Structure 1
């Protein structure tokens, strides 16, 4: 339980949100991997997707993160194509709030509803990355990098969710409530421009 709490607290340490439109380097695979893990909003959302999937269990463990990755790629393609999506930054901030609430309250919904929810928010995350992606071969590497980083963060969230779930009925729900609540507060801070 202490390890799970420590891992969650590390994820909540504020970092500069570099994974946004027009900020940071965007050349090649390494930058693609680093981009999603350099902004607290992206980290929290992607880890929350994994924890949410673990809470739902069953086929949600692979379907929910896969939906996020697939729709993030679609959002990235829209961004690369110059298609404007309104309120991208707000959508990213709201994703932290919504998924934090889903984790905190142990939202139990059908897998299709969960995939639709995460897929909707993934479009904003993907668009933010796609707008920055260079239109060259290094852009393909960059895109592959942010997809790999996203999947790794999802796997980390699934691992945390499953580990916390093994904390039993006494500690497991409390830990996820606290973690989800902290994510929600962080999302509000992101929307308010504090983080």
Structure 2
């Protein structure tokens, strides 16, 4: 393998690498921690993939608007969490995001764009708040925030990729089945089964 290819192949590993912690149990809490947080929690993964999938199902402009609304509003929710602003039922809101978004996909709901954006935005506040309150004390909040927003965007892209199947009859059935699975996973988180 040539030198440039090795460098390119190692980029994903560099993004996931964490800083060395000098104390047992310590966490750098910067970019790597922020990036890993959404990917490490299945409740976040299913909801964020669902945003991209529902956007793909709805088509343009929802295809790009919903995955932009979610991280922007999520960053606002994260700031509330960092500031210690209380938000009731955060975990229930995160779990319900999977249930609701999954059902919207499973039942092929074609909501108006502004309604879809409001639904996605409301759930983004809960996800962001959880990210913000779980921010380690010694962390760089800006690097952490950039990490979790970037990971969120990649999860939305995964959902959009799944949504590429919407065009065919069989693909629509697969997408709706994935929506049902997302709803079931959200229900599992909500009722403590997952």
Asked if these proteins are the same fold (TM beyond 0.5), I'd say yes
Within 5 Å, give how 1:46-195 maps onto structure 2.
Answer: 46-134=48-136, 138-162=140-164, 164-166=165-167, 168-169=168-169, 171-195=170-194
* TM-score, length basis structure 2: 0.83
Q: Secondary structure at the match of 1:35?
A: helix
Looking at CA atoms only, which structure, 1 or 2, has the larger radius of gyration?
A: 2
- In 2, Cα distance between equivalents of 1:133 and 1:155: 24
Structure 1 unpaired stretches of 5+: 1-23
CA RMSD of the aligned region, Å? 1.5
Alpha-carbon distance, 1:109 to partner: 1.1
Structure 1 pair 106–126 and aligned structure 2 pair: CA distance change class (3 A) = same
Check whether the contact 1:26–1:139 (CA below 8 A) recurs between aligned residues.
no
Check whether the contact 1:26–1:132 (CA below 8 A) recurs between aligned residues.
no
Structure 1 pair 46–122 and aligned structure 2 pair: CA distance change class (3 A) = same
User: How many residues were matched structurally?
Assistant: 169
Structure 1 pair 137–42 and aligned structure 2 pair: CA distance change class (3 A) = closer
Alpha-carbon distance, 1:31 to partner: 1.0
- In 1, Cα distance between equivalents of 2:27 and 2:108: 37
Structure 1 pair 147–157 and aligned structure 2 pair: CA distance change class (3 A) = same
Check whether the contact 1:41–1:92 (CA below 8 A) recurs between aligned residues.
yes
Check whether the contact 1:26–1:142 (CA below 8 A) recurs between aligned residues.
no
Alpha-carbon distance, 1:106 to partner: 1.2
